[in-house]
Structure 1
Amino acid sequence: MRFYRQAAIRPNLERRARIVEAVRAFFGAAGFLEIETPMRIPAPAPEIHIDAQETGDWFLQTSPELCMKRLLAAGYEKIFQICRCFRKGERGGRHVPEMTLLEWYAAGMNYLDLMNQCEALIGFVASRIDAGHRLVYRGHTVDLTPPWERLTVAGAFERFGGMTPEQALDRGCFDEIMGLDIEPQLGITRPLFLYDYPARCGALARLKPTDNSVAERFELYIAGMELCNAFSELTDPREQRARFDNDNRARRAAGKTVYPVAEPFLQALEHMPPAAGNALGLDRLVMLFTGAASIDEVVAFVPEEL
């Protein structure tokens, strides 16, 4: 039957709508302003493992991060948006090239504050959709009662990786060990925040003032699935420019597109207050609350159907 897949996943899409409604209610009650930023931009952040989709001489956003931080610099203290983001070549059970991100930023907060906010957000969503305090996903029963577990990246590599994060980075196997050995072990019975990434994995995150070898970054894992990526934000434009230059050199060495410098963003960093930001995969959140084995079960259309 034509549209059979769409008919079969209707209960998931109905729950998705309730989840989106709950997210908006949570941030509205917390005093956040919902905003929109352009999807088509001249210069994405040059992260080595994320490739932007070209659209003419510009690119479709991989994240609204750069524009949202410019709003922080303009005096917006608490902002969020639910938007479409595009990552070239990403397709799999948990990836589609066009995905939905929930991204939010708050002036005066740090990555530890965002851990608490993640707990509150997901607990609020669970209550609004009558999911209770336990989530059952792919055979795992996860207790959502806070506080959730916290584990440093160094601790995770010691426990599951057989080497230090620095050794893994030097040998070029950091991502492989994370994906194959560490991530499947995380958040199995309770959600887990993996935090304090090596400085080389800091991207746009601030280095920890008491230990410059790590960045104030965390990822949240539930039932072995990465759900979000958060930082205490770097606000030093000189350091950020140097990181962008290093990332573009790495992209060039890998034969990838070298992106233009995001000058308006770097100039805005001069005026950006201390802040923290979080990018949460909304599609994956829906997967968790519907028990979906694949992202295909929670989106109305996948690329192969277009």
Structure 2
Amino acid sequence: MYFSPQSAIRSNLERRARIIAHVRDFFSAGGFLEIETPLRIPAPAPEAHIDAQESGDWFLQTSPELCMKRLLASGYEKIFQICRCFRKGERGSRHLPEMTLLEWYAAGFNYRDLMRQCEELICFLAGKMGIGSLLVYQGQTVDLTPPWDRLTVNEAFQRYGRMSARQALERDCFDEIMGLDIEPQLGLERPLLLYDYPAACGALARLKPADRSLAERFELYIAGMELCNAFTELTDPSEQRIRFESENRLRRSNGKSAYPIAEPFLQALNSIPPAAGNALGLDRLVMLFTDAALIDEVVAFVPESL
């Protein structure tokens, strides 16, 4: 079932437009430059569980990450982008194969700085949209007052999972346990920042200097819904190449095609400053702020209507 772009969702689309306008206000006031990068690229970042949509001999971007980091390396210190991204085969109540991402990067930031900035952004938008500090989503009331709750991935598996995070990785069921057992429990009364992922789950993230088994990565959950994926950036081109090659081996072992290595991106890593970046799903944010049960209710068209 899908919703048509008629009067049934017009109010949601109007609120969506206001949210996007306020997002731009937030980042412009913070000294961020809005930029645009190509949608069609020769090489996406290889990730075992994300499939890029082919476009001739190239690909539609799964994220603007690689090009935006090249801008960081060129001296752009604070940048953001609102853009369309494409992920093959992703369709569900909270997933679309063509989605809208808000992505931003800041030189000199780390993942903890981005945690605080996430709080500021969501609270700013909630105030502008008349929601205030209490968000009601599908009957669940969430107190947005910062500081938000924080929980490590290892703690989340201990609290909600059937096994430890290490065991889940060894048995190749990490994502399954996250999706079925853990995520529905997160951010139900207050937003929750889930952080310090296993190193194997941080393909482009810096590893913690004090514990290289963990990546400096976090995700934000509100009312059981994942909103963003953020991390302190890996800036070592040699290590990044090794990770890309590892992800491509995993893709091949799963019967998928390997992706070309993005050589210009790896070369740019030699010049990138310490930085952090965040990708936030705007469609899901609009779902929360409009109390929409389905992602179909916050976009003008879905694939089935075309």
- Which category describes the TM-score, using the shorter chain as reference length? over 0.9
TM-score calculated relative to the size of structure 2:
0.98
Can you list the C-alpha shifts for 1:89-129, whole angstroms capped at 9, x where unaligned? 11100011100000000000000000000000000101111
Aligned equivalents of 1:91, 1:57: Cα separation in 2: 24
Can you list the C-alpha shifts for 1:159-218, whole angstroms capped at 9, x where unaligned? 011321111100111111100100000000000000000011111000001111100000
Counterpart in the other structure of 2:223: 223
Q: Which runs of 5+ in 1 are unaligned?
A: none
Can you list the C-alpha shifts for 1:224-246, whole angstroms capped at 9, x where unaligned? 00000000000000000000000
Counterpart in the other structure of 1:213: 213
Aligned equivalents of 1:241, 1:274: Cα separation in 2: 18
Cα displacement (A) at 1:257 = 1.7
Classify the secondary structure of the residue corresponding to 1:94.
coil
Aligned equivalents of 1:45, 1:27: Cα separation in 2: 26
Counterpart in the other structure of 1:159: 159
Cα displacement (A) at 1:4 = 5.6
Amino acid at match of 2:147: P
Q: Which runs of 5+ in 2 are unaligned?
A: none
Classify the secondary structure of the residue corresponding to 2:6.
helix
Write the mapping of 1:226-305 to structure 2, written as runs, cut at 5 A: 226-305=226-305
Amino acid at match of 2:216: E
Amino acid at match of 2:132: G
**2:5/2:301 contact within 8 Å kept:** no
1:75 aligns with 2:75: yes
Write the mapping of 1:128-143 to structure 2, written as runs, cut at 5 A: 128-143=128-143
TM-score calculated relative to the size of structure 1:
0.98
Can you list the C-alpha shifts for 1:32-83, whole angstroms capped at 9, x where unaligned? 0000000000000010110000000000000000000000000000000000
Can you list the C-alpha shifts for 1:135-163, whole angstroms capped at 9, x where unaligned? 10111100000000000000000001132
Aligned equivalents of 2:267, 2:102: Cα separation in 1: 25
Once the two structures are overlaid, the 10-residue window that deviates more, 128-137 or 212-221, is 128-137
Aligned equivalents of 1:219, 1:194: Cα separation in 2: 5
Classify the secondary structure of the residue corresponding to 2:194.
strand
Amino acid at match of 2:104: W
1:49 aligns with 2:28: no
Amino acid at match of 2:107: A
Runs of 4+ in structure 1 over 6 Å off: none
Cα displacement (A) at 1:7 = 1.6
Amino acid at match of 2:102: L
Counterpart in the other structure of 2:150: 150
Aligned equivalents of 1:180, 1:253: Cα separation in 2: 25
Counterpart in the other structure of 1:8: 8
Classify the secondary structure of the residue corresponding to 1:228.
strand
Percent identity between the aligned chains? 78
Q: For the aligned residues, what is the CA RMSD? A: 0.8
Cα displacement (A) at 1:5 = 4.8
**2:4/2:300 contact within 8 Å kept:** no
Aligned equivalents of 2:166, 2:236: Cα separation in 1: 24
